[in-house]
Amino acid sequence: MSESVTSSGARGMTVESAFAGMRGVSPVMFRAGCPDCRERFELTAGALRLAIGASSRTTFYSFTCPECGASVRKPAGERIVELLTGGGVRTLRLHSTL
């Protein structure tokens, strides 16, 4: 009964493994710029809002500039829509096709 088992529960929790474990749930950052104050920043999915209209012309994403507080609205192309929805951005459908 001399088998010494060292209990080290916190072992292996390196920064790398912590990051690797977070990968699936880590917030996606979207780079955006404010046309008002020309500030550039990164926004989490929760700070963005995506509105999908009937056509690409009425499809846009919006956010509030963290610098000057202006509400910015920008047209969202197909790729941006894909990127935003894939990143967990709240999507609002302006035009119901169903």
Residue labelled with tokens 């690797």: 20
Out of 51, 65, 84, 89, point to the residue binding Zn ion (CB under 5 A).
65
Q: Is 31 or 57 the residue whose CB approaches Zn ion more closely?
A: 31
- 36 forms part of the interface with Zn ion (CB under 5 A): yes
Query: Taking CB under 5 A as the rule, does residue 22 contact Zn ion?
Result: no
Judged by CB under 5 A, the residue of 18, 20, 29, 68 near Zn ion is 68
Dihedral pair phi/psi, residue 19, rounded to 5° = -70, -40
Q: Which stretch binds Zn ion (CB under 5 A): 8-16, 25-33, 61-69, 84-92?
A: 61-69
61-97 exposure pattern, b = at least 16 Cβ within 10 A, e = fewer: bebebeeeeeebeeebeeebbebbeeeebeeeeeeee
| Residues paired with residue 48 on neighbouring β-strands, in sequence order | 63
Rule CB under 5 A: say whether 34 interacts with Zn ion. yes
β-pairing, 40-44 with 29-33? antiparallel
Min dist. Cβ of residue 74 to Zn ion (A):
13
How many chain residues interact with Zn ion (CB under 5 A)? 7
